[in-house]
Amino acid sequence: MTEPLWNLWWVWIAAALVLGILEVLAPGFVFLGFAFGALAVGLLLLNTGFGLSLSVLLLIFAALSLVAWLAMRRFFALPKGQVKTFDSDIND
């Protein structure tokens, strides 16, 4: 009997790679949190060696993605009350 696709560690690592590439194409930390979540689930499956149900894996993925996104937002955000302004045009 073959193992379900979601229990294969390399599928989660490949998804993390695809999400990382999407982050390069659409910057703004949109996909990077999801990439960290997929990478963590892939490493978890690689290190433990036993399969979990899809619902448990998706719960772990969602929780770790949210934590990664909140950490990046806190680390890379502008200080509170500060706004990005541009004083010169790039074409000047």
Dump pLDDT digits (tens) for 35-76. 999 999 999 999 987 778 889 999 999 999 999 999 988 887
Instruction: Identify whether the C-beta of residue 31 lies closer than 8 Å to the C-beta of residue 23.
Output: yes
Q: Is 71 inside a domain boundary?
A: yes
Q: Does 90 reside within a domain?
A: no
Of residues 51 and 34, more confidence is placed in: 34
Of the two residues 21 and 78, the one the predictor is more confident about is: 21
pTM of the complete model: 0.78
Instruction: Give me the domain span that covers residue 33.
Output: 5-76
pLDDT at 12 over 90: yes
pLDDT given for residue 8 in this prediction: 87
CA distance 83 to 92: 22
Q: Note whether residue 65 is domain-resident.
A: yes
Asked whether residue 51 is assigned to any structural domain, the reply reads: yes
Q: What integer pLDDT is reported at residue 92 of this predicted model?
A: 65
Domain total in the chain: 1
Other C-beta atoms closer than 10 Å to the C-beta of 77 total: 10
